[in-house]
Amino acid sequence: MSFQDILLQQLANGLILGSFYALVALGYTMVYGIIKLLNFAHGDLYMLGAFIGFVVLSFLSAFLGDSWTGILCSMVLSMIAVGLLGVLIQRVAYQPMLSAPRLSILITALAVSMILANLVMALTDGEYLAFSTDLGYDGLELGNVFITYTQMVLVGAAAVLMIALYLFVHKTMYGKAMRAIAIDQDACRLMGINVNRIIALTFFIGTSLAASAGIMAGTYYGSIHFFMGFVVGLKAFTSAVIGGIGSIPGAMLGGLLLGLLESYGTQIPFIGTEWKDVFSFGILILLLVFKPTGILGKTEIERM
């Protein structure tokens, strides 16, 4: 393959990987923007979305098959189920801790992450499950570059979800309420905004987007595992920080940028696929050193 072919092929690979990171990073940045919580259980909700989607698709395959129709239905149902679970976690585990020290709620998030991961591990005996579909491997050949239709559909679906979220946050009353709560919760309560309801809605949207990324990853890679959310959760958090934690466009940009950097980084001599995680987190360290607020982040002044 020529140098141009490698660039184009890695562009396709980086976009699909970055789409997964961006969808999960959106949940991180939305929750942090609202209640300043780093929800480290978010990666496990991504994993749970893949497993719920797998179960639903296994049931629906008898009626709809393993084609895009069955995958779309299972994705919608998985997003709803995981979104409701996210609201339940917020109500039970996080809401009572909002007035506690930040370290307490952070430890609670880590505990929720451990519970979810070990629960799925116990149910699956820690084994990989085959996420089988009949999508095939057809695609477009551009010289020596091959891009599957599955890749194009998944990137398109991720783009639709991200655009829909952006429009929701900036064009609807609920989105305006979210942005207002991120600035001053007390003032929002005085204005009659139901803060707890908006926070619950934020958790629902963020966790449902993570679930959509989970089932997309299962469709793309063909297998799921109880530990799949750990590294993706860290990468998504890295994406949110790169883009600017608390910024929705920043999370999208950070996810896509990290996916592209990882993809192109594997072509750098002495790095390869085995060093791609070192490469990714090394970039995070450099960014935190030279631009701690991220690409689109803004410096916040905390009022005493």
* Mean pLDDT, rounded, for 79-93: 95
The residue among 100 and 201 whose pLDDT is bigger is: 201
Distance CA 261, CA 20 (A): 14
pLDDT > 80? residue 49:
yes
How far is 72 from 157, CA to CA, in rounded Å?
10
Question: Which residues, at least 6 apart from 284, have a Cβ–Cβ distance to it below 8 Å?
Answer: 238, 241, 242
Q: Looking at residue 295, what is its pLDDT?
A: 86
pLDDT higher than threshold 60 for residue 302 = no
Residue 271 CB contacts under 8 Å (≥ 6 apart), including other chains:
265, 278, 279
pTM of structure? 0.91
- 123-146: average pLDDT: 83
The yes-or-no verdict on residue 111 having pLDDT over 70 is yes
Note whether 75 and 215 are within 8 A (CB). Answer: yes
Instruction: Give me the amino acid identity at 257.
Output: L
179/40 Cα distance (integer angstroms): 22
Burial class of residue 134 (count of CB atoms within 10 Å of its CB; 0-12, 13-18, 19+): exposed
Q: Is the pLDDT of residue 304 over 80?
A: no
Polymer length of the chain: 304
Q: Is the dihedral of CA 244, 95, 203, 88 positive or negative?
A: positive
Concatenated DSSP letters of 109-133: HHHHHHHHHHHHHHHHTT--EE---
Q: Tens digits of per-residue pLDDT, 193-223?
A: 999 999 999 999 999 999 999 999 999 998 9
The least confident of 18-27, 96-105, 189-198, 271-280 is: 271-280
The answer to whether residue 303 scores a pLDDT higher than 70 is no
Instruction: Place 298 in a pLDDT band, splitting at 50, 70 and 90.
Output: low
* Sequence-ordered list of residues with C-beta below 8 angstroms from that of 262, at least 6 positions apart, any chain: 14, 17, 276, 279, 280
Count of alpha carbons within 13 angstroms of residue 246, beta-carbon side: 18
Q: Which of 6-20, 59-73, 105-119, 289-303 has the highest mean pLDDT?
A: 105-119
What distance in Å separates the CA atoms of residue 215 and residue 74, rounded to the nearest whole number?
Answer: 8
Nearest partner of 41 among 288, 207, 290, judged by Cα:
207
pLDDT (0 to 100) of residue 290: 86
Mean pLDDT across the stretch 97-110? 87
Predicted local confidence at residue 279, as pLDDT: 78
Q: Where are the alpha helices (DSSP H) in the chain?
A: 3-35, 42-64, 68-89, 102-124, 149-171, 173-183, 185-190, 195-221, 228-243, 248-265, 276-290
Name the nearest CA neighbour of 216 among 170, 257, 274, 255: 255
The fraction of the chain above a pLDDT of 90, given in percent, is 54
Q: Is 137 helix (H, G, I), strand (E, B) or coil?
A: coil
> What gap in Å lies between CA 57 and CA 198, rounded to an integer?
31
Interval 28-57 mean pLDDT: 91
Cβ atoms within 10 Å of 261's Cβ, excluding its own: 18
pLDDT for the residue 1: 64
Cβ atoms 223, 50 nearer than 8 A: no
Read off the pLDDT of each residue in 177-200 and give the average, rounded to a whole number: 91
d(CA 129, CA 227): 12
As a whole number of angstroms, the distance between CA 33 and CA 301 comes to 14
Sign of the dihedral through C-alpha 199, 204, 209, 210? positive
